[in-house]
Structure 1
């Protein structure tokens, strides 16, 4: 892939020292060039000991008071040992802390980088000290963002960055929380005013949702005209998987006996530039989007049958192509390599047009999956579990505490689509019962209280 690797900027060594764990002050005040200073040393969590001196005081008494104040700040964890500019801080926080310690995904990294360097550091002076940033500066940065999605993301970035700075003694006061509250209040006030004046109308965001007959048509047409996309499309529609999860499925993830799919990974780009050498920068195996992304999903008999056919094709291509790489991916190209997220986009748009279906993103198929289940009174908790959502505390509790109740039960798995395979005299008027889709969920999921 012709993708630029992530190149980390150089940062000051002091960022790597860690937190202050102890300190030692000289008993006496030291005269320095007609002024007075106090000297001390700080020991950091990495074991590094740094000698320091604070001076410029006119009298010994003034220096002694400053020394006592510094000791008090050390005890309250408000002492700031090093000063950093905004750019120095954000370079470290994003490229070292968020990548190396938090292990953020490549797409999250790109989103955060955009907010920081294309908005905040263009509104603020990058060379100003982070200790000098006040509430009004934060608000000015937020006011520079017009797009709602970017503004919402900026709240997350600012909270994370300045909370880190406060917890690691880079700033004394965190001005972000108050500034964000002020901004949210101002946005809400402006929105309500616009509603009253009639300059805008409240519109709930809607996603294109396919009906059961449209799903059948889409699969059948795909089977006939775009066979390479059929398995990923089938899996998305019958399991609600994300496209990054679909292309990461391996045959070894399928429990053929139980008729169950184990979701344990997704494919994407890492922030460590893995895969650059063998031209697979965007198809690296990475963790699921969240802990709840690791899940077991039942498969319908029809889906199992199609996966058996896919396995037969895999073995046939493997034997016939000397260049084939045996990587075990269910959705594979002729050389055995997996698809990446962008490979299927153009073909999907063409397929929608061939079926006279509305324009939509591949991801919108997940909305179809969830909507069909919700309209048939399936618990929101159950849907969240099966889709790998981790957006609320309730969802987390269900996933963590109830896996046996949801999955260790007798599966009630029926056919999602009956006789979908094209016949010579087949017409596009397949009648599909919504119950077929519902039967893809375990029986006890039906009874989970939403």
Structure 2
């Protein structure tokens, strides 16, 4: 006698009493755990089934929580409980912002979908079950790029389960990764970029805007530019720090991190004269603010270019919102702050700068990344190819 449960279980009599006998696997070995139903033999079937479900359910919850606490999950653990245990295990090796992102996914949509389905365990989940989860996300209007993030964290977690010999194969290897949304940023033209820089010259985030549009930096990179990394004689800047933002117990934390997105992101770039001029003016301005506000000025971040009047680091989320407000204030076409990076790249490509040079400037991990984003703008290489073919075909006429 038994019901559908996460762990295999059945009702067994012993010395005139009824017990739930639950099969669990620990350290690769199976064992039976007996739990009393509190009923004598001969009790009615419906009453036995009800007691059986309650006892097994209670044991499953206690068992999963114990495994999660000990960091030793088994293949019988539910998908959600396993993801909680996995997240706890990898937290020390993750950047705080990455952990925050993972935490939101696990305790957000993953929890809402998988917690009510305890029958889906690490050992039983199938490719079809995974596809149903993705279909659920798409039905909730989650974009493909976000679904890819869920696929990535789940795939990593189950790969760990495979390495730990909890499962014989990673079920996420049996399905295709969701395809990315094709997205082209709303680039500004050269004229629009010049107008933006002229109008925002006196605004607090002007240095970030100049670094985004004039060097093609990511938001986190622009905010992480440091005075000590600038070589005024060689007119270069080393990018090796980014500013991340995350929450701890509901409180927002801003943190400089000397760990870039990838190896290529740590790069030294030449500084165009207008950017050098902006940096020089900003350095003088900060000197004035330090004298003006004295003890109220935060000296902790003296090495950073992008700080407010009191010397505090500028929040990435503030840049995003304030940039949008500035565009409305000046009646400019709306773009995202990140689109300044796309603007920078599109202008270079429009001026026939080779794609490999643009890729190196942007700090992409490989040329294919740049090509996938900007190939539609690379008219120079396309025209060069057309010219070569034209020359060959013209010879055929002779």
Range into which the TM-score falls when normalised by the shorter chain: 0.5 to 0.7
TM-score scaled by structure 1? Answer: 0.59
- In structure 2, the partner of 1:143 is 135
- In structure 2, the partner of 1:166 is 162
Q: Does 1:157 align with 2:147?
A: no
**Contact 1:209 1:368 (8 Å CA) reproduced:** yes
Please give the residue correspondences for 1:59-70 in structure 2 after superposition, counting only pairs within 5 Å: none
Q: Does 1:247 align with 2:223?
A: yes
Q: Distance between the aligned counterparts of 1:52 and 1:390, measured in 2?
A: 41
Decide whether aligned partners of structure 1 residues 105 and 366 sit closer, same or farther in structure 2, where only a CA change above 3 A counts. farther
The offset of 1:284, in angstroms, is 3.7
**Contact 1:248 1:338 (8 Å CA) reproduced:** no
**Contact 2:155 2:170 (8 Å CA) reproduced:** no
Q: Distance between the aligned counterparts of 2:27 and 2:263, measured in 1?
A: 43
**Contact 1:381 1:394 (8 Å CA) reproduced:** no
The offset of 1:373, in angstroms, is 1.0
- In structure 2, the partner of 1:307 is 279
Q: Distance between the aligned counterparts of 1:347 and 1:51, measured in 2?
A: 54
Number of aligned residues = 296
Decide whether aligned partners of structure 1 residues 86 and 217 sit closer, same or farther in structure 2, where only a CA change above 3 A counts. same
Q: Distance between the aligned counterparts of 2:124 and 2:205, measured in 1?
A: 54
Q: Does 1:338 align with 2:323?
A: no
**Contact 1:119 1:141 (8 Å CA) reproduced:** no
- In structure 2, the partner of 1:325 is 298
The offset of 1:262, in angstroms, is 0.7
Q: Does 1:213 align with 2:187?
A: no
Q: Does 1:86 align with 2:79?
A: yes
The offset of 1:119, in angstroms, is 3.5
Decide whether aligned partners of structure 1 residues 293 and 164 sit closer, same or farther in structure 2, where only a CA change above 3 A counts. same
**Contact 1:234 1:303 (8 Å CA) reproduced:** yes
Please give the residue correspondences for 1:204-283 in structure 2 after superposition, counting only pairs within 5 Å: 205-223=183-201, 226-269=202-245, 273=248, 281-283=253-255
Displaced runs of 4 or more, over 4 A: 50-56, 80-83, 391-395
Q: Does 1:112 align with 2:88?
A: no
TM-score scaled by structure 2? Answer: 0.66
The offset of 1:394, in angstroms, is 8.3
Q: Distance between the aligned counterparts of 1:51 and 1:166, measured in 2?
A: 14
Q: Distance between the aligned counterparts of 1:116 and 1:235, measured in 2?
A: 35
Q: Identify, as 1 or 2, the structure richer in helix.
A: 2
Q: Where in structure 2 are there 5+ consecutive unaligned residues? A: 1-25, 33-72, 371-398
**Contact 2:269 2:361 (8 Å CA) reproduced:** yes
The offset of 1:359, in angstroms, is 0.8
- In structure 1, the partner of 2:118 is 127
Q: Distance between the aligned counterparts of 2:274 and 2:100, measured in 1?
A: 39
Q: Where in structure 1 are there 5+ consecutive unaligned residues? A: 1-49, 57-79, 189-202, 396-450
The offset of 1:362, in angstroms, is 0.5
Which one scores higher on RCO, CA 8 angstroms, separation ≥ 6? 1
1:169 aligns to what SS in structure 2?
coil
Decide whether aligned partners of structure 1 residues 145 and 257 sit closer, same or farther in structure 2, where only a CA change above 3 A counts. same
**Contact 1:268 1:286 (8 Å CA) reproduced:** no
- In structure 2, the partner of 1:373 is 348
Cα RMSD between the aligned structures?
Answer: 3.1
Q: Distance between the aligned counterparts of 2:209 and 2:342, measured in 1?
A: 14
The offset of 1:123, in angstroms, is 3.4
**Contact 2:102 2:153 (8 Å CA) reproduced:** yes
Q: Distance between the aligned counterparts of 1:117 and 1:156, measured in 2?
A: 16
The offset of 1:392, in angstroms, is 5.8
Q: Distance between the aligned counterparts of 2:133 and 2:369, measured in 1?
A: 34
- In structure 2, the partner of 1:31 is none
The offset of 1:372, in angstroms, is 0.7
